[in-house]
Amino acid sequence: MRALPGLRGLRGPPSLQLPLLLLCLLAAVRRGWADGNTTGAKATGPSWGGRARLGPASPLTTLPIREEMMTKYSNLSLESHNISLTEQSSVPVEKNITLERPSRIELTCNFTASGDVNSVNVTWKKGDEQLTNYCINATGKNLYTQYMFTIINSNQMGNYSCFFEEEKKQRGTFNFRVPEVQGKNKPLVTYVGDSTVLICKCQHCSPLNWTWYSSNGSIQVPVDVHVNDKYAINGTNANETRLKIMQLSEDDKGSYWCHAVFQLGESQMHVELVVLSYLVPLKPFLGIVVEVIILVAIILFCEMYTQKKKMHTDDGKEFEQVEQLKSDDSNGVENNAPRHRKSESVSQ
């Protein structure tokens, strides 16, 4: 029996001989099929990295990467996402992807070219870092590129972009991020001596842990329920956390942050707490009372001034009347004196 090419000289520990044997068998079978399959529809074979190329490529190119991913991360779920681009795309196309736990990722970009697909340069980047081991395939005017990898920690999160450069560069970006935490957007207003509850939620996700921080400036301080008994942290579900603050004082006002810890990173949300004294709601009422008192005082002053002025006017009129009477009496006496003299002269 003649050994198949590629199976000679198989060395190594017994635990690795069987996987290597299966790998070589699969490679030989796929090579034989590729060599024998010379008829059929005309299509572009896959290439790896750089400029798109027509023609068959070695089937062994994809084998090591895919085999490693299948064996090491076979228990992880597969996330497949794609973006379509054309030469007429005026702005980069972006897609936001929420990822809570480690997963196998399959990113595909489709580009419709107007000219020869061989003239299109294809690249992948994570942020500003150049990536390798991506697949390129073409069918007619459509150019496909695929990048497969596994996200198992927070360092692998971020932006993954595919670039198609012909006359101008087109970009498609996949943004990976952990789930967002939701809370109360408006400030929570309460009063001194009361109790309040701050709530944070994460829709359709289950964080590994929740942590609360308080900040009255730029520094965040963890809320320790074991040191200060005025705090209590609980939650009815894994996707929810509640911070209860009892016997509030004005020192408790400020920002409170809830941190959700996931396998691939952290997400946070802040809630603004406003603590007022009971005199604060009375201030508008006291202001109104003061305004009323001032208005009444002005009215009384005007009334008193009017009455006083009226009294002075009446006194003046009475004085004029008295003077008029006195003057009339004096005129009457003077008029009677000549008459009296005339009567005396007549009698004589």
Q: 10 Å Cβ neighbour count for 84?
A: 13
**pTM, 2 dp:** 0.62
Q: What is the pLDDT of residue 339?
A: 53
Q: Beta strands 231-234 and 50-51: pairing type?
A: unpaired
To which H or E segment does residue 94 belong?
A: strand 93-98
Helices and strands in the chain, H and E counts? 3, 19
More confident residue, 314 or 148: 148
d(CA 40, CA 32): 16
pLDDT tens figures, 173-230: 999 999 999 888 888 999 998 999 999 999 888 899 999 999 877 788 889 888 888 8
Q: Tens digits of per-residue pLDDT, 262-310?
A: 999 999 998 999 998 877 667 777 788 888 999 898 988 888 888 877 7
d(CA 260, CA 206): 9
3-class DSSP state of 347: helix
Domains of the chain: 70-177 (2.60.40.10), 181-277 (2.60.40.10)
Phi-psi region at 281: left, alpha or beta (left = phi > 0; alpha = psi -120 to 50) = alpha
- Asked if the model's pLDDT at residue 152 lies above 50, the reply is yes
Residue 295: both structure tokens together: 């208005």
How far apart CA 295 and CA 224 sit, in angstroms, is 54
Query: Percent of the chain, pLDDT > 90?
Result: 36
Classify residue 6 by its DSSP letter: T
